[in-house]
Amino acid sequence: MDPAIITLVVLGVVAFLFVTELLPIAITALSATVVLALTGVLTTKEAYAGFSNNTVVLFAGMFVVGTAMLDSGLAQSVGNFIIKKVGTNERPLLLAMMLLTVFMSAFANNTGTVACLMPMVIGLCVSAKIPCSTLLMGLAIAANAGCQLTMIGTPPNMLANAALEQAGIEPFGFFEFAIIGGPITICALLFTIFVGPKVLPHHIAKIGGDDGEGEIVGTNKQRWEALIILALVISGLIVGIPGVSSSMVAVIGGLLCVLTGCITEKQAYRGIDWVTIFLFAGMLPIATALDKSGAGRMIAEFVCGFMGDNPSGMTIMAVLFMLSCGLTQFMPNTATAALLMPIGLSISEQIHASPYAVIMGITIAASCSFATPVATPPNTLILTPGGFRFMDYVKIGLPLCIISFILCVLIVPIAWPFN
The one-letter code for the residue type at 361 is: G
Residues 6+ apart with CB under 8 A from 254: 60, 61, 62, 63, 64, 65, 268
Max CA pair span of the chain:
69
Residue type, 369: S
| pLDDT score for 409 | 93
Predicted pLDDT of residue 215: 58
What DSSP state is assigned to residue 375? S
Q: How many CA atoms lie within 13 Å of 163's alpha carbon, on the beta-carbon side?
A: 24
The pLDDT, as a whole number, for residue 309 is 65
Q: What angle do CA 222, 225, 228 make, to 5 degrees?
A: 150
Query: What pLDDT is attached to residue 206?
Result: 67
CA distance 20 to 26: 13
Among 232, 315, 220, CA closest to 61: 232
- What's this model's pTM, rounded to 2 decimal places? 0.74
Within 8 A by CB and 6+ apart from 10, the residues are 32, 35, 36, 41, 286, 289
Residues 317, 348: Cα–Cα separation, whole Å: 10
Please, are residues 154 and 113 in contact by the beta-carbon 8 Å criterion?
no
Q: Residue 244: what residue type? A: V
Question: For each successive 10 residues of the chain (419 residues), what is the average pLDDT?
Answer: 89 81 84 92 89 81 83 78 80 90 81 82 84 94 92 82 83 92 96 94 71 62 90 80 85 94 90 80 80 77 70 84 89 77 78 87 93 90 91 95 96 91
Q: What angle do CA 163, 166, 170 make, to 5 degrees?
A: 80
